[in-house]
């Protein structure tokens, strides 16, 4: 396929997303598992949200936080995957300036919102295990509302400069993005201006937000593990670990894919350039598809709620 020229004397009005410039024959084969993962993510999260909404027994702070996580997953999937599939199936590579920077903002803000939600959920599990008698008075509906406002406000404020800094750059000719999505640096490097500020803010902001969340999550689970090991009652350790096992698995999904993605960028000279592109796409759909399944399988209350809804439906 002949790609449009990367250079022009006039400012560009849109970008072209070229997912795998070296392996474009992959796209048709990759579209099938990607579309299945997308349908699974949307269907599973929608089922989880409906179950929590309709089952009175699930109207608890822990499940409200899980609902927030499902909403974030669905928005991330809808922001990224339909456009990727449109490229794979219909060769619709063009994306307008506004749509590109809007996608950039949603990806950056909602990814950090998800990380912050995991941090709040880790605190919820810490209180449940380490201070069970005080749990009803600490983790209340008001706490969840305040936590949701904090999650939205913190990440909106700190990630808004990312698309703003990229949007103010002058794009004088190159418009081909060698990526499936409008990632900040993939777009910024096409400009004719200095992108040092963009690069520094992306690095500092990302590691400050995600890094602080991961540190607090690690601290919470360290305290949880220490408290669990002190339990003497028979079966108490297994029961305590079971209450936070699902959450810990979700964190592993999120952090493992993110870690692999970061490592491939660090060692980008040793890996094909298409590998980080693929990992970036998968990071927006794989955790979203697996998160509700893990909670649905491991949490008895959710499993029973889904079964009751299915019986009512039949």
Cβ distance 13 to 260 under 8 Å? no
Domain 15-313, CATH: 1.20.1070.10
Helix axes 61-90 and 26-54, enclosed angle (nearest 10)? 150
- Domain map of the chain by residue range? 15-313
Which residue reads 């019986």 in tokens? 311
How far apart are the C-alpha atoms of 52 and 59, rounded to whole Å? 7
Going residue by residue through the chain, which has 314 residues, state the pLDDT in tens, using 9 for 90 and above.
444 444 445 567 789 998 887 666 777 888 999 999 999 999 999 999 999 999 988 999 999 999 999 999 999 999 999 999 999 999 899 999 999 999 999 999 999 999 999 999 999 989 988 898 999 999 999 999 999 999 999 999 999 999 999 988 888 878 899 889 999 888 998 988 889 998 899 888 888 898 899 899 999 988 988 888 787 666 666 766 676 777 777 887 787 777 776 766 666 667 777 888 888 898 899 989 988 888 887 788 888 888 888 887 66
DSSP string over 182-209:
--HHHHHTTSSS--HHHHHHHHHHHHHH
| Segment (H or E) for 221 | helix 196-229
């Amino acid at each position: 396929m002949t790609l449009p020229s990367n250079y022009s004397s006039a400012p560009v009005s849109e970008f072209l997303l070229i997912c795998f410039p070296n392996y474009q024959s992959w796209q048709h084969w990759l579209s099938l598992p990607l579309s299945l993962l997308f349908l699974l993510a949307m269907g599973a999260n929608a089922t989880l949200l409906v179950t929590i909404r309709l089952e009175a027994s699930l109207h608890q702070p822990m499940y409200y936080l899980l609902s927030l996580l499902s909403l974030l997953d669905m928005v991330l999937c809808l922001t990224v995957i339909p456009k990727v599939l449109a490229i794979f199936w219909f060769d619709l590579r063009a994306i307008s300036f506004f749509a590109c920077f809007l996608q950039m903002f949603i990806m950056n803000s909602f990814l950090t919102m998800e990380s912050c939600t995991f941090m709040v959920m880790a605190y919820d599990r810490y209180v449940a295990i380490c201070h069970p008698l005080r749990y009803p008075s600490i983790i209340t509906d008001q706490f969840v509302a305040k936590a949701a406002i904090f999650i939205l406000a913190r990440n909106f404020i700190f990630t808004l400069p990312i698309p703003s800094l990229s949007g103010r750059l002058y794009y004088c000719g190159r418009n081909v993005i060698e990526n499936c999505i409008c990632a900040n640096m993939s777009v910024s490097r096409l400009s004719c201006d200095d992108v040092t500020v963009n690069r520094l803010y992306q690095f500092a902001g990302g590691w400050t937000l995600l890094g602080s969340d991961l540190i607090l999550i690690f601290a919470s689970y360290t305290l949880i593990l220490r408290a669990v090991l002190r339990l003497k009652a028979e079966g108490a350790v297994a029961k305590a670990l079971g209450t936070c096992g699902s959450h810990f698995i979700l964190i592993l999904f999120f952090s493992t894919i993110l870690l692999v993605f970061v490592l491939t960028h660090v060692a980008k000279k040793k890996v094909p350039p298409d590998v980080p592109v693929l990992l970036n796409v998968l990071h927006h759909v794989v955790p979203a598809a697996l998160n509700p399944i893990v909670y649905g399988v491991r949490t008895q209350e959710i499993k029973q709620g889904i079964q009751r809804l299915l019986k009512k439906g039949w």
